[in-house]
Structure 1
Amino acid sequence: MLVRIWDRWVWTGILALGLLLSAATAQAQCWGDEAKAKGYANPSILASGQEVADHLGEAGLVILDARSSDRYAAGHIPGAVNLPMADITRTINGVPGMLAPLQDVERALAARGITRNSRLVIYDDSSADQATRVFWALDFLGHSQVGVLQGGFGLWQREGRPISRDASPSTPAGYAAAPDPAKIADLAWMKAHLDNRAVVLLDSRSPEEFDGEVPGRDVKRPGHIPGAVNVDWVRNLTTAEPRQIKGGADLARIYRRAGATPDKEIIVYCRTGVRASHTYFVLRLLGYPKVRLYDGSFVEWSADPSLPVAR
């Protein structure tokens, strides 16, 4: 009789432990849980430090450090591989910072062990404009499982999480992109849609650059693209360091007041596309269905004397 009772206790304990482990595993698999609580319509693309910590070492997960190689060497998230923004951008026709040719980007991703099935989380120091530039590139390339770390490495450090200075090994893989032309605008597209009322041109630069008071490096003619509205990208962020992306309600209010509503097609640009990529990410986070990034941005536009510039 005692043996039966003992056996029953043992099996009950094993079953309870199994249920607890299953529940913990299921919880760990829910990317974007913390972002969902902040009112974002597309929370799975914004990862928290705890979510990343829960998944470190998991098969298929690749953490991408978008900072410079020097910053990476000084300390990074354990297991992260370094993919500086410069490794996937080029100067093309005199325009700096444009997305590199497709084969070059595929080669850079494959060298870091990334495949189309990898889940990617990207970070930089805190403001995330470098991370979002890499995010946009991957989104354009058709990579479905990609997100950005809220607060970047700065918040990761403040939360007391582990740091490594060892370069993370990666096994070269094969990467075949499936570019989505609906995520990008080139100069020809911009010219063709300049007067389209269903399109909102959203300038992510500072008000001084938008008004032409400060031209910005490599800008030939200061000002902005006619018809554009200005929302400085820094308005997406909290003011306290390490800076984080604001909550969904605050962001939705900012863009709605600027006339950039989800029913329109939004084209974001800045000087070279870096700051605009942050706005691109935020609009995707808010669930906007039609957002493009003008890759050449205002450096390219202002260099063509045949195109209008407003001040």
Structure 2
Amino acid sequence: MKKNWLGTALEILLIVALSASVGIAWNRTLLTSAWRGEVAARAEAAPAANPANAVAEPMPLGLMQVKELLDAKQAMLLDARSTTSFAEGHIKGALNLPLEEAGRNPSRPLQVKVPAEASLITYCNGFSCHDSMELAKILVKAGYANVYVYEGGFPEWRDAGYPVAKGGS
């Protein structure tokens, strides 16, 4: 059975109208504020960012970047996973600094003496794990200037066939 073009056009029009109505209803507060100019007024009233007080966000790194930095011995690798996970397998040469442990003493998260200008790379269990980003933020707040997050983490490194180790730190 063939539909005629008029019936199809009416179905499309109904779907568009229904979608627009739901979108407007869902965002009515935001739209009302914008119509009154309140959103712009709040943006103008917000204090300007002060670069002197700004805290740097840790930068993400990919597999090749991490490999190059480690091969050149230009960075220290920190595993944000638990001690058990670290013992089961970790990137060769990494130090274990579980997020919970770093959180206990955020002003001095590292137990070893590391210069504030050293390059630090944190990692955990890959893209779905956010412990490495949280650990990196703690390190930045503690005064470390060059902090990076290896987003692919241990699974990507292992799957690429790069050196891994087992056992304690």
Q: Is the 8 A contact 1:62 1:114 kept in 2?
A: no
Q: 2 CA distance for matches of 1:60 and 1:72?
A: 22
- 1:53 maps to 67
Equivalent residue of 1:148, what SS?
Answer: strand
Instruction: Return the structure number with greater relative CO, CA threshold 8 A, min gap 6.
Output: 2
Give CA deviations for 1:155-194 in whole Å, capped at 9, x if unaligned. 11222222112545xxxxxxxxxxxxxxxxxxxxxxxxxx
- Give the structure 2 partner of residue 122 of structure 1: 122
Cα deviation for residue 147 of structure 1 reads 0.6
Report the equivalent of 2:112. 112
1:64 lines up with 2:65 in the alignment: no
Larger Rg: 2
- Judged with a 3 Å threshold, the aligned counterparts in structure 2 of structure 1 residues 76 and 86 are, in CA distance, closer, same or farther, namely same
1:166–1:112 Cα change, 3 Å: farther
**CA deviation vs aligned residue, 1:228-270 (integer Å, no higher than 9, x gap):** xxxxxxxxxxxxxxxxxxxxxxxxxxxxxxxxxxxxxxxxxxx
Q: 1:131 and 1:165 mapped to 2: Cα distance?
A: 19
TM-score, normalising length: structure 2: 0.58
Question: Secondary structure at the residue paired with 1:117?
Answer: coil
Tell whether the 8 Å contact from 2:136 to 2:149 is kept in structure 1 after alignment.
Answer: yes
* AA aligned opposite 1:64: L
Q: CA deviation at 1:80?
A: 0.3
C-alpha displacement of 1:150: 2.1
For 1:86 and 1:155, how far apart are their aligned partners in 2?
23
| Cα deviation digits, residues 90-129 of structure 1 (max 9, x gap) | 4xxxxxxxxx362xxx2x41x2342202100000011231
Q: For 1:118, give the aligned amino acid.
A: A
Deviation, 1:57, is: 5.2
Q: Which runs of 4+ in 1 moved over 6 A?
A: none
Q: Hey, what's the Cα distance between the residues in 2 that align with 1:122 and 1:84?
A: 10
Shift of 1:143: 1.8
Closer, same or farther: CA 101–149 of 1 in aligned 2, 3 Å: closer
Structure with greater proportional helix content: 2
Question: Which digits, 9 at most, give the CA deviation of each residue in 1:55-104, with x for residues without a partner?
Answer: 225445210000011111111111100000111224xxxxxxxxx362xx
Secondary structure of 1:122's counterpart equals: strand
Letter in 2 for 1:53: K
Contact in 2 for aligned 1:73/1:165 (Cα 8 Å): yes
Contact 1:81 1:167 in 2 (8 A): no
1:155-174 to structure 2, matched below 5 A, reads: 155-167=156-168
Q: CA RMSD in A?
A: 2.4
SS in 2 for 1:89: helix
1:69-108 correspondence runs (5 A): 69-90=83-104, 100=105, 102=107, 106=108, 108=109
Distance 1:52 1:114, change over 3 A: same
- Structure 2 gaps, min length 5: 1-55
In 1, the alpha carbon distance for the partners of 2:168 and 2:67 equals 18
* Distance verdict in 2 for CA 1:112–1:165, change over 3 Å: farther
Residue equivalent to 2:133:
132
Q: 1:88 to 1:156 in 2, by over 3 A?
A: same
SS in 2 for 1:73: helix
